[in-house]
Chains A and B, each alone.
Chain A
Amino acid sequence: MGMKKKQQSQKIILIAVLTLIAVVYIYPVFLMFMNSFKPFGEIVMDPIAWPKAPTFENITYVVKKIKYGKLFLNNVLITVIGIAGIVIFSSLAAYILDRRRTKYTAFVHTLIITPMLIPFQTIMITLLKAMNVIHLDNSRVGLGIQYWGFGIPMATFIFFNFMKTIPKEIDESAHIDGASTMRTFISVIFPLLKSVTVTVIVLDVMWIWNDFLLPLLMVNSSDKTKTLVLASYTFVGQMNTKWQFAMASMSLTVLPSIIIFIFLQKYIVEGVVAGAVKG
């Protein structure tokens, strides 16, 4: 009885401490949202308090100034193009690389996954020139296509490791029934890859949606092609930052991610864990 009581009170103390840590931990995010509703003077005078008279002026100004709706669609377009290509080309490659073990596939396997070792900064200078030659720079679609090349090594690696766990008898029986290789892939294999596809999508959406350096190099020159993260960057200067607009713009960029996370927390966390363990 006494033991149980002691355990109970220990748990309460633990949760109390944890609550304190969690609140302090998340406070900076809260601070960003809160300051989006303050005029500049109040942000500078009292950056940490609740807004005296919350105003939507910063938000409406930023929405108009950066054309939020358009940039949001830019983000969606780039992310959707990027993800679609990565998932399709990586899963197709992984399917063949696992099922047909020949000298050719062994070589191609190494060829496709080795670039995981190349840090982006090693190639960024010359990438700019290469993309200029094939006209994939200064374009949202072009940027989406570039993500294919950067996402395929890791995605193929994850798909390949999962393909190994799918019994060969499954596609062999489809073959005997007369299904072609493509038919087998579309109606038998790809549905079985569902869980690992979710992993790839979660990892790559988080990466592409929030990416900064590649969009900075490729689509920053025109307001038409910018992404949300790039737009937030314009309000923060070296000397004088318009914090009221910066905060509003950052909040508007982060909000969609947080809303999606709240609804899909389970899948996102599972995807991230699976990706790290397999990747």
Chain B
Amino acid sequence: MTNSSRRKRKEQLENVLYTLPAIILVTVMMYIPFLMSGYYSLTQWNGIAKDPQFIGLANFISIFSGKSNFLNSLGFTVRYTIGFVIFSNVLALALAVALVKKFKLANVYRGMFFIPYIMSMTIVGFIWKFIFTQGFAKLYELVGAEALNWSWLGDPKLAFYSVISVGVWQGLGFYIVLYIAGLQAIPKDVLEAATVDGATASQKFFRVTLPLLGPSMTTCIFMSLTNGLKVFDIILALTKGGPGTATYSTTMQIYQEAFTNNNYGLGSAQAIIYFLVVLIITQVVLKVMSRKEVDL
């Protein structure tokens, strides 16, 4: 055997050895459960009986005939995500514009907005459950504003906004730091040139800053989109999907179907549809946004 072919063999062996742990781990934790979900979605199984019963597409048919709450939960998840993306990005951008200015303690302020982001979402949900139920009642006593006396977690419509608000509150710091990084990357001379040309502050923001923020905005919108579609912990802690099924997210629906109703087969079918919906939405948004960015 020649020297170079021996070296090639050795390199090939190394290629396999160095990547093998990652391949095995990803296969065991993700691909195998994923394929199992695909199989169980075609079965009826309560998790206790030894053998799942093969029932073909019956689970999917029952989901699309609207017998379970799944389609409603999908509707909620989409509405939640739209609200979450809009409020997170608008508020984060507004605060980033203020926080990017140089002043004493600027870092402390940035840190204050970031702290909810380093906290567990479950704990964030509980804190706000406490505020909505106990805190608002006391504030109403003190201030008397009627809105404080509303049932923020008990009324289906209000609960929707409560869940979005808490979600935005928890994640806002993350989007703020991303927008600050984007704002800092804008060359100063471009803004100065606009000032020299007599542009007003709002003209500078909408005509110069905003277009140049394109990449940051793409990142933030995409991240908030995927985070919105995955919402779970906050809802479990805050409303458990209630009142009724008003704030049932799809993730929550899958969880309940499997672990509360013990319908593992139906839950798996919902999980597969959820995967496809998330995949399609994120890929479409990504395509649309990358096209937009080029236009700028």
Using a CB–CB distance below 8 Å, which chain A residues touch chain B?
11, 14-15, 17-19, 21-22, 25-26, 28-29, 31-32, 35, 43-44, 46-48, 85, 89-90, 92-93, 95-97, 100, 102, 104-105, 108, 111-112, 115, 117-127, 129-130, 134, 146, 148-150, 152-153, 156, 181, 206, 209-213, 229, 232-233, 236, 238, 243, 246-247, 250, 253-254, 257-258, 261-262, 265, 268-269, 272-273, 276-277
Q: Point out which of A126, A261, A277 has the most chain B C-beta atoms below 10 A from its C-beta.
A: A126
Q: How many A-B residue pairs have CB under 8 A?
A: 237
Which residues from chain B contact A100 at a C-beta distance below 8 Å? Answer: 11, 14-15
B160 in contact (CB, < 8 A): no
Which residues from chain B contact A277 at a C-beta distance below 8 Å? Answer: 178, 181, 219
Closest to A257 in B: B118
Given A11-B103, A14-B101, A269-B177, A47–B22 Cβ distance below 8 Å? no
Using a CB–CB distance below 8 Å, which chain B residues touch chain A?
11-12, 14-16, 18-19, 21-23, 25-26, 28-34, 36-37, 40, 95, 98-99, 101, 103, 107, 109-116, 118-123, 126-131, 134-135, 138-139, 169, 174, 177-178, 181, 219, 223, 229-230, 232-233, 236-237, 240, 250-251, 254-255, 258-259, 264, 267-268, 271-272, 274-275, 278-279, 282
Flag if A21 contacts B18 (CB, 8 Å).
no
Flag if A156 contacts B15 (CB, 8 Å).
no
Least Cβ–Cβ distance between B280 and chain A, in angstroms: 11
Flag if B22 contacts A89 (CB, 8 Å).
yes
Q: Offer 12 A-B interface pairs, CB within 8 angstroms, sorted by A.
A: A96-B18, A96-B19, A105-B15, A118-B30, A118-B34, A123-B33, A126-B268, A130-B28, A212-B233, A232-B122, A261-B114, A277-B219
Across the interface, B26 reaches (CB within 8 A) one of A14, A18, A19, A152, namely A152
Flag if B36 contacts A129 (CB, 8 Å).
yes
Which residues from chain B contact A46 at a C-beta distance below 8 Å? Answer: 138
Which residues from chain A contact B23 at a C-beta distance below 8 Å? Answer: 108, 111-112
Across the interface, A123 reaches (CB within 8 A) one of B101, B122, B271, namely B271
Closest to A217 in B: B259
Flag if A44 contacts B134 (CB, 8 Å).
yes
Given A28-B127, A47-B135, A262–B111 Cβ distance below 8 Å? yes
Which residues from chain A contact B128 at a C-beta distance below 8 Å? Answer: 28
| Shortest Cβ-Cβ A-B pairs, 7 listed | A149-B29, A126-B36, A210-B120, A123-B33, A115-B30, A96-B18, A93-B22
Given A121-B251, A125-B258, A48–B135 Cβ distance below 8 Å? yes
Given A105-B19, A108-B23, A31–B272 Cβ distance below 8 Å? no
CA of A276 to CA of B218, assembled, Å: 11
Least Cβ–Cβ distance between A26 and chain B, in angstroms: 5
Flag if B29 contacts A119 (CB, 8 Å).
no
Which residues from chain A contact B109 at a C-beta distance below 8 Å? Answer: 18-19, 22
Which residues from chain B contact A17 at a C-beta distance below 8 Å? Answer: 98
Given A29-B116, A254-B119, A126–B21 Cβ distance below 8 Å? no
Least Cβ–Cβ distance between A118 and chain B, in angstroms: 6
Least Cβ–Cβ distance between B243 and chain A, in angstroms: 13
Flag if B33 contacts A48 (CB, 8 Å).
no
Which residues from chain B contact A146 at a C-beta distance below 8 Å? Answer: 29
CA of A267 to CA of B92, assembled, Å: 21
Flag if A125 contacts B98 (CB, 8 Å).
no
Beyond the given A31-B127, A121-B274, A269-B110, could you list 14 further A-B residue pairs with CB under 8 A, ordered by the A residue number?
A18-B99, A21-B95, A22-B109, A25-B112, A96-B19, A120-B230, A125-B259, A181-B14, A212-B120, A250-B126, A254-B119, A257-B118, A262-B111, A268-B118
Which residues from chain B contact A181 at a C-beta distance below 8 Å? Answer: 14, 18
Least Cβ–Cβ distance between B103 and chain A, in angstroms: 6
Which residues from chain A contact B236 at a C-beta distance below 8 Å? Answer: 212
CA of A102 to CA of B8, assembled, Å: 12
Which residues from chain B contact A28 at a C-beta distance below 8 Å? Answer: 116, 127-128, 131, 169
Given A121-B255, A121-B274, A276-B223, A130–B33 Cβ distance below 8 Å? yes
Given A115-B30, A129-B36, A26–B112 Cβ distance below 8 Å? yes
CA of A85 to CA of B24, assembled, Å: 13
CA of A258 to CA of B272, assembled, Å: 37
Which residues from chain A contact B177 at a C-beta distance below 8 Å? Answer: 269, 272-273
Flag if A115 contacts B274 (CB, 8 Å).
no
Flag if A125 contacts B264 (CB, 8 Å).
yes
Flag if B223 contacts A96 (CB, 8 Å).
no
CA of A152 to CA of B18, assembled, Å: 13
CA of A233 to CA of B121, assembled, Å: 12
Which residues from chain B contact A148 at a C-beta distance below 8 Å? Answer: 25, 29
Least Cβ–Cβ distance between B149 and chain A, in angstroms: 15
CA of A46 to CA of B139, assembled, Å: 9
Given A18-B98, A96-B14, A123–B119 Cβ distance below 8 Å? no
Across the interface, A149 reaches (CB within 8 A) one of B11, B28, B131, B237, namely B28
